[in-house]
Amino acid sequence: MRSFVFDALPGRVVFGAGSIELLPEELDRIGAKGVLLVYDVTSKDVADELIERLGDRIAGTFSDVEQHVPLEAAQRAWEAALEAGADCTVTLGGGSTTGFGKAIALEMGIPTIAIPTTYAGSEMTPIYGLTSEGRKRTGRDIRVLPKTVIYDPKLTVSLPPFVTGPIGMNALAHCIEALYTKDANPITSLMAEEGIRALARGLPASVAEPGSLEARTETLYGAYLAGAALAAVGMALHHRICHVLGGSFGLSHGDVNSVILPHVARFNAEAVPEALERVARAMGADDAALALFDLAVSLGAPTSLAGLGMREMDLDRVAEMSLEEPLWNPRPVDTSDVRAILDDAFHGRRPSRAARPSPMAS
Ligand code: NAD
C-alpha cells in the first residue's frame, strides 16, 4: 500500500426512485425559506409539480439554461436570484442546469440542492465553469458544491437514447481519468472502478429499454460514483480536449466525450497500463480503448468529430488550444500528439491495438 492523501468533500446524497418527494425535508435541513428553482425546460412538468407542492417557498424560477454557462446567461440568473430574494437554489436538470446553480452560489454565496436528471456528475463537484469570449474557464470553489444531491432515477427515464449514450460516455470518462490522474488514491479508484462497472452494465440496458427503472438506477449510481471520483481528483488530457471542443467550437459535451475517450485511453495506456487494465476488467473486456469505442458504437453514441460537424481545418487550432495552459497527463503530450488523437477522432477510426508512437519521435 502506497501513501496517499484523500481530501473527502462534504455533502449529503439522497439516492433512490421517488426520492424527489423528500425535497421539502431536505430544504428544512438546510433552513431554506425562499427557493429559486432553476430548471431545464425538458423537466418543466416536474418543475410545475414542485412549484405546486412547495407553494410560497418558491421565491422565483429561472429556466433560461444554456450549455457551458455563458456569462450573459449567468448574469440573468444572478438577477433572477436577487429579484426573488432567494436564500437557496434548487436545480433540476443536467450538468448545464447544475452549472447555473453553481454560478449563482459563486456570485451570491447561497446554497444549492441539486436534482440531476442526466449523468453529468457536476452535482458532486466543487468545479464551476463560465464561458465568455468563446472560452470556457473552470475553477474550484467549495461554495459551489451542492449541499445536498437528490438522485431520483425516475427523472432519467425520459432521457432519449441519443442523449443517454454520450452523457454516459462522459461519466465513464470521469471514472477513467480518475484512475490515472496524479491525485488518484485507493478510495477514489474504488469509486471509479465500481462506477465503470455500473455504467458498462447500465448504459446498454438504458439505451435498449429507456423506461427500465432497474437499468436507470444502475446507470445513475455509476454516474454518481463518477462525479464523486471527479470531485476528489484532477482530470487530464481527455477533459482538456473536450473542454476546448465544447467551450470554443460549440460541440455538445457528451458527444465530444464519446468521440475522444477511446483515443486518449489508447494514447495514455502505455504510461499507465495498470489503470487501463482496471478499466478493461470493469468493462469485462481485454482492451480498454477498443471496449470504449465498441461501447460507443453499441450505444449509438458519436464516434467521429466529422460526424459532429467539426471542420478538419480547425483541428490544428484545437490541438494548440488544448495545450495553451499547463496540463498534467500521465504520458507527456505535445501538440502533434493531440493533433494525431484529433485526426483519429475526426475520422472515427477504431483505435489500433497498440499505441501510435508520438509523431515527434519519428
Ligand atoms: P445538459 O444539461 O446540457 O443536458 C443535455 C440535454 O439533455 C439537454 O438538451 C437537456 O435539455 C436534456 N435533458 C436533461 N435532462 C433530461 C431528461 N431527464 N429527459 C430528457 N431530456 C433531458 O448536458 P449534461 O451532459 O448533463 O451536462 C453538460 C454540462 O455539464 C457541460 O457544460 C459540462 O461542462 C458540465 N459539467 C460540469 C461538471 C463539473 O464538475 N463542473 C461535470 C460534468 C459536466
**Structure confidence at residue 362 (pLDDT):** 40
Q: pLDDT (tens digit, 9 = 90+) per residue, 86-103? A: 999 999 999 999 999 999
Q: Domain of 62: which CATH number? A: 3.40.50.1970
The reply to whether 47 falls in a domain is: yes
Does 361 have pLDDT greater than 70?
Answer: no
Residue nearest to atom 32 of ligand 1 (CA): 68
Look up the domain containing 329 and give its range: 161-347
Percent of the chain scored above 90 by pLDDT? 91
Q: Are residues 78 and 227 in the same domain?
A: no
Phi, psi (5° rounding) for residue 237? -55, -45
- Whether the CB-CB separation of 327 and 236 falls below 8 Å is answered with yes
- Rounded-to-integer distance, Cα 203 and Cα 218, Å: 8
358 lines ligand 1 (CB under 6 A): no
Amino acid residing at 76: R
CB count in 10 Å sphere of residue 248? 18
Find the 115 Cα to ligand 1 centroid distance in Å.
Answer: 12
**Structure confidence at residue 134 (pLDDT):** 80
Q: Are residues 273 and 325 in the same domain?
A: yes
Which of 63, 92, 118, 256 gets mutated to test ligand 1 (max ligand atoms within 8 A of its CB)? 118
The reply to whether 151 falls in a domain is: yes
Find the 116 Cα to ligand 1 centroid distance in Å.
Answer: 9
Of 114, 135, 156, which marks where a domain is finished?
Answer: 156
What the block records as the C-alpha cell of 111 is 446554497
Report the b/e string of 290-305 with b at 16+ CB within 10 A.
bbbbbbbbebebbbeb
Q: pLDDT (tens digit, 9 = 90+) per residue, 227-282? A: 999 999 989 999 999 999 998 898 998 999 999 999 999 999 999 999 999 999 99
Q: Are residues 234 and 320 in the same domain?
A: yes
Find the 258 Cα to ligand 1 centroid distance in Å.
Answer: 14
322 lines ligand 1 (CB under 6 A): no
Residue nearest to atom 8 of ligand 1 (CA): 94
Of 124, 156, 188, which marks where a domain is finished?
Answer: 156
335 lines ligand 1 (CB under 6 A): no
Q: pLDDT (tens digit, 9 = 90+) per residue, 317-358? A: 999 999 999 999 999 999 999 999 999 999 999 998 766 665
Closest residue by Cα to residue 354 from 262, 267, 259, 237: 267
When divided into structural domains, the chain yields a total of: 2
Find the 307 Cα to ligand 1 centroid distance in Å.
Answer: 20
What the block records as the C-alpha cell of 215 is 437499468
